[in-house]
Amino acid sequence: MNKTNKRVTIKDIAEYCGTTANTVSRAMRNDPGISEATIHKIQQVAQEMGYIRNNLAATMRSGQSKLISVIVDDIKNPHNATLIDKMDSLLKEEGYDTMTLCTQGRLDKRQSMANLSVSNSVDGILYFPDSNDADIANKIMKNRVPLVLIDRVITGVSADVVRCDDYQGGVLAAEHLLNLGHRKFVYIGGPKGNGAQPLRQSGFINTLIQRGINLSHITIIDADQIYPAIQAGTIYNILSPIIYTCIFSFNDQIAYHVMNSLRDNGYQVPDDISIIGFDHIRGALSYLQPLSSIASKYEADMAEKSVLLLLRRIKEPNVDTVSEILPVTLHEQISSIKNIMV
């Protein structure tokens, strides 16, 4: 029907049907004030003409885009991908669509994705931030766009946030490994800009020291070492020499890389080395190898509470900010057992 290079509009449908643009608009919304026959005819013509709703025009009329932006630093991490999938499902139930914007952990991309979200008049933003993103978060809020921080805080920013108890997670990992008899430890850190990283590390290290472990028996491998090694396939080089019996990893994503490297080099997990991760991604991806992991007690909580907080902020822009800290638990699998040589 439409042989021009222009996008099909409501006016085009109205002209073809011999009616008004207002009638077409109402028919496309299934307005009960219009007969079912008219609605059916107009919607059928719209389908045949290839009509797609112009969200920008609709947003200008209603003041709502019904669109939520999700800004994430690492979409490859199954923990993040699982959260986003659940949040998308929950938001769709409330009549919202989502657009996921990936930043690859880069400041310039975080800035541009935040700007893109605001310029597209999203109704809200779910943001996986860097701890140094205060300027970005404050700019979003100055534009009166509802914002919820996911999985980590930004120092100096008063915004709604949902995260798990990262410090207590480190404590649980340390206590579990100590109770299994381990006395020589490795902690593998996460991105330095991730607000959860220092909390998980300090919870782990402080607990070991409080339980009498000497610092000389604790090795720390930081993000500047582990991530290049993962990319280069040289993980075993930074794990050597193997003078320890257990590893606590910042997240499961790193832990699985480490587990595979150790097995490729003749070590058995857990017979030779016990490993604990964080996030329990096997809860959503059951085909993964068993891995002991720290995570929130109720795995859907973070997605559900994040969406609820955002919807609340959309409806009541001036309510007090909320910081939801979710309790954590150890999801014990066979990757951590007592080392009989200890």
Burial of 187 (0-12, 13-18, 19+ CB in 10 A): buried
Distance CA 325, CA 149 (A): 12
pTM across the whole model: 0.84
Residues 123 and 176 in one domain: no
What stretch of H or E contains 206?
A: helix 196-210
Asked whether the predicted pLDDT for residue 59 surpasses 80, the reply is no
Query: Which pLDDT tens digit goes with each residue over 117-145?
Result: 999 999 999 999 998 999 999 999 999 99
Chain segment 93-120, per-residue pLDDT in tens: 999 999 999 999 999 999 999 999 999 9
Q: To the nearest whole percent, how much of the chain has pLDDT over 90?
A: 79
| Beta-strand pair 246-249/218-221 | unpaired
**Full residue range of the structural domain in which residue 138 is found:** 65-164+299-327
Quick one: tokens of 98?
A: 């989502």
Are the beta carbons of 196 and 166 closer than 8 angstroms?
yes
229 and 107 co-located in one domain: no
Report how many domains make up the chain. Answer: 3
Question: Which amino acid, 138?
Answer: N
Are residues 305 and 291 located together in one domain of the fold?
Answer: no
CATH number at residue 277: 3.40.50.2300
Shared domain check, 222 and 154: no
Q: Which residues contact 319 (CB under 8 A, 6 or more apart)?
A: 312, 313
For residues 70 and 43, state if they share a domain: no
pLDDT class of 340 with cuts at 50, 70, 90: very low
| Cis status of the peptide bond prior to 317, with omega within 30 of 0 | no
Question: What is each CA distance from 72 to 44, 77, 339, in whole angstroms?
Answer: 39, 10, 38
DSSP 124-184: EEEE---TT-HHHHHHHHHTT--EEEESS--TT---EEEEE-HHHHHHHHHHHHHHTT--S
Residues 210 and 323 in one domain: no
